[in-house]
Structure 1
Amino acid sequence: MENIMKTIALPHLGLASLLIAAPVFANAATEPAFAMEQEAFFTQLASHCGKAFAGKVVSKDNADAAFRDKSLVMHVRECSDSELKIPFHVGDDHSRTWVITKTAQGLRLKHDHRHQDGTEDKVTMYGGDTASVGTSQKQSFPIDQASIDNFMQNGLTQSVTNVWHMEVTSSTFSYLLTRENRHFQVDFDLSLPQPIPPAPWGHE
């Protein structure tokens, strides 16, 4: 009887071991899949490091009129394994830099706004973190709480539901801002590099 019990118990023990191990194996399989899409997106942008590209506004909102009349240039200026800094030049205004950072949860987008003397604007370093894996070509960044607080403090209540998006293909990079009754989009031609613009304010 003892030998029979041992024979019966061992298969059950083996099954239990497999059941315990299975979730670990599943996590190991699914975890890289989350990072893979965002890693591919980050790598595509980083492949343009050191280059600048001209853009144009393609959205139709009247609020974008000032942007349509000025030259728009993005410059993939500073690149590391974990962070990209991409100044967005609007005519002679060199106050804007997009900062894309890898985090433990995904990707983070912040907008670094400076005055001409290099000091920070009171509305700066706003943005958000990815809430989903996205794709290798598109990532979305819903506004974070710190940005909501900053906007509220500075009277920008219309912006507290902002979602920013970035899209990249072999030929085009797009930056978008969306919220209810608001859509801003500028597309940059990645096939035709431009002369390097001046350093963004505060980043010499």
Structure 2
Amino acid sequence: MKKHLLVLSTSLLFSVSSLSVMANTVKEAPLVSISSHDSYFDNLRQHCGKAYAGKVTVDNPASGGFEGQLIMHVRKCTDQQLQIPFHVGDDHSRTWIITKTGSGLSLKHDHRLKDGNYDQSTMYGGHTVDGGFESMQSFPADQYSKELFAKLGNPQSNSNIWQMYIYPETFTYRLIREGREFRVDFDLTKPIDLPATPWGYKD
């Protein structure tokens, strides 16, 4: 009986050791993306660490709330994600987050309160549904965003499509839906001093 238990224990130990060795040799899955997404992502990432001033060029119908200096800051970049705070005067609540998901690109709007906590309207955005272009990608509202907008009483935003354009001299953030267009253009030819740390983030 003891012999059988010893054999069983040895077999279990060998099996556990084998699994451990296998787990340690498994490689991380490759970051899957297509060329148009990669090129677009890299065109944005080349501005990492720099900030640029912008101005509202379309606001129809006029919404207000974007007075003061407008600044985009390509603040943090990895192979999978770009974090781009969008500053409006002394309001440092907004950060655009672009992420490679393996099935395209995701755009999220991280909205924070001054104390760093999340605003009730945060992390809304969209996901690419096609290849787009190396200079432009579109992000139709995702399901999370639609449910959030409905919950907050903004069902008209369910048809939101966010677009971001990146050209050698200009970066554009654009929101469109039926009866609404908002656009901000940033001058990439003149980097400016870096703005404050966005709310909820650390240097």
- The interval holding the TM-score normalised by the smaller chain is 0.7 to 0.9
Equivalent of 1:152 in 150, 153, 168: 150
Question: In 2, Cα distance between the equivalents of 1:199 and 1:62?
Answer: 31
Q: What per-residue deviation string (whole Å, max 9, x for no partner) do you get for residues 66-85 of structure 1?
A: 32x31100000000000000
* Structure 1 residue aligned with 2:60: 61
Structure 2: gaps (5+ residues): 1-31
* Structure 1 residue aligned with 2:107: 109
Residue 200 of structure 1 aligns to a residue in which SS?
Answer: coil
Higher helix share: 1
Structure 1: gaps (5+ residues): 1-31
Question: In 1, Cα distance between the equivalents of 2:135 and 2:83?
Answer: 18
- Give the letter aligned to residue 46 of structure 2: S
Shift of 1:62: 3.8
The 1:169/1:66 distance shift into structure 2, 3 A limit, reads same
Shift of 1:128: 0.9
Question: In 2, Cα distance between the equivalents of 1:65 and 1:136?
Answer: 31
Residue 58 of structure 2 aligns to a residue in which SS?
Answer: coil
Shift of 1:156: 1.1
- Give the letter aligned to residue 132 of structure 2: G
| Aligned-pair identity (%) | 51
1:1-204 map, 5 Å:
35-67=34-66, 69-204=67-202
Shift of 1:60: 4.0
The 1:145/1:201 distance shift into structure 2, 3 A limit, reads same
Shift of 1:65: 3.5
* Farther off after superposition, 57-66 or 41-50: 57-66
The 1:91/1:50 distance shift into structure 2, 3 A limit, reads same
Quote the RMSD (CA, aligned, Å).
1.2
The 1:201/1:60 distance shift into structure 2, 3 A limit, reads closer
- Give the letter aligned to residue 50 of structure 1: G
Shift of 1:104: 1.1
Mapped contact 2:61–2:181 kept (Cα < 8 A): no
Mapped contact 2:45–2:74 kept (Cα < 8 A): yes
- Give the letter aligned to residue 187 of structure 1: D
Q: What per-residue deviation string (whole Å, max 9, x for no partner) do you get for residues 75-118 of structure 1?
A: 00000000000000001000000000001111000000000000
- Give the letter aligned to residue 182 of structure 2: F
TM-score scaled to structure 1, two decimals? 0.81
| Poorly superposed stretches of 4+, deviation over 3 Å | none
TM-score scaled to structure 2, two decimals? 0.82
- Give the letter aligned to residue 108 of structure 1: S
